[in-house]
Amino acid sequence: MSAIVLKQVVKSYRVESVEVQALRGVDLEIRSRCLTAIAGPSGSGKTTLLNVMGCIDRADRGELTVDGTPVDELADDLLSDFRAARLGFIFQSFNLIPVLTAYENIEYPLRLTGVAAPKRRERVLAMLDAVGLSAHARHRPGQLSGGQQQRVAIARALAAAPRVILADEPTANLDSHTGAAIIELMRQMQREHGVSIVICSHDAQVIAAADDAVFIRDGQVESVQRSASI
**Binding pattern to other proteins, positions 55-94, x when CB under 8 A?**
-xx------------------xx--xxxxxx-xxx-xxx-
Closest to other proteins by CB, 31 or 80: 80
**Binding pattern to other proteins, positions 154-183, x when CB under 8 A?**
--x---------------------------
The C-alpha R_g of the chain, in whole angstroms, comes to 17
Closest to other proteins by CB, 112 or 126: 112
Give Cα separations from 148 to 128, 139, 190, 218 (angstroms).
Answer: 11, 10, 18, 35
Contact 55, 83 (CB under 8 A): yes
Give the residue, chosen from 51, 148, 150, 190, that forms a contact with other proteins under the rule CB under 8 A: 51
Read off the amino acid at residue 76.
Answer: D
> CA-to-CA distance for 46 and 22, rounded, in angstroms?
9
Q: Does 108 bind other proteins (CB under 8 A)?
A: yes
Among residues 69, 98, 96, the alpha carbon closest in space to that of 85 is found at 69
Closest to other proteins by CB, 24 or 111: 111
Give the residue, chosen from 24, 31, 33, 111, that forms a contact with other proteins under the rule CB under 8 A: 111
Contact 34, 45 (CB under 8 A): no
Question: SS3 string of 57-120?
Answer: CCCCEEEEEECCEECCCCCHHHHHHHHHHHEEEECCCCCCCCCCCHHHHHHHHHHHCCCCHHHH
Closest to other proteins by CB, 67 or 107: 107
The nearest distance, CB 168 to other proteins, in angstroms, is 8
Number of residues that bind other proteins (CB under 8 A): 32
Catalog residues that contact other proteins under the rule CB under 8 A: 51, 54, 56-57, 76-77, 80-85, 87-89, 91-93, 95-100, 104, 107-109, 111-113, 156
